[in-house]
Amino acid sequence: MKKGIHPEMHDITITCACGATFQTKSTRKAYSVDICSRCHPFFTGKAKLMDTAGRIEKFTRKYKNLQKGEQKKG
């Protein structure tokens, strides 16, 4: 590696809006994020499946015979 062309790495603290903090290294001095793995709905298990226009029911009706082991004709 060439000397003098690489940015300096700093030990920093990333702060989330929920109050969680993480230690890491970066070329920036500090980070502030809106959402992290501790408060994101997907990772906390609070994510809900949005069914717009009945797509899940339509899929279930279309393939319910395949679940029973029968083949759909057509």
What are the extents of the domains in the chain? 10-67
**The listed CATH number (3.40.1410.10, 4.10.80.400, 2.60.120.650, 3.40.50.1980) that belongs to domain 10-67:** 4.10.80.400
pLDDT confidence band for 68 (50 / 70 / 90): low
Instruction: Tell me how far apart the alpha carbons of residues 6 and 23 are, in angstroms, rounded to a whole number.
Output: 21
Whether the model pTM is above 0.75? no
Our measurement of the distance from residue 62's CA atom to the centroid of its chain's CA atoms, rounded to an integer in Å, reads 30
For residue 50, what pLDDT band results from cuts at 50, 70 and 90? low
Task: Report whether 40 contacts 34 (CB < 8 A).
Answer: no
Which stretch of 22-26, 31-35, 56-60, 67-71 has the lowest confidence by average pLDDT? 67-71
- Average pLDDT, integer, range 50-54: 66
Cα 74 from Cα 70, distance rounded (Å) = 13
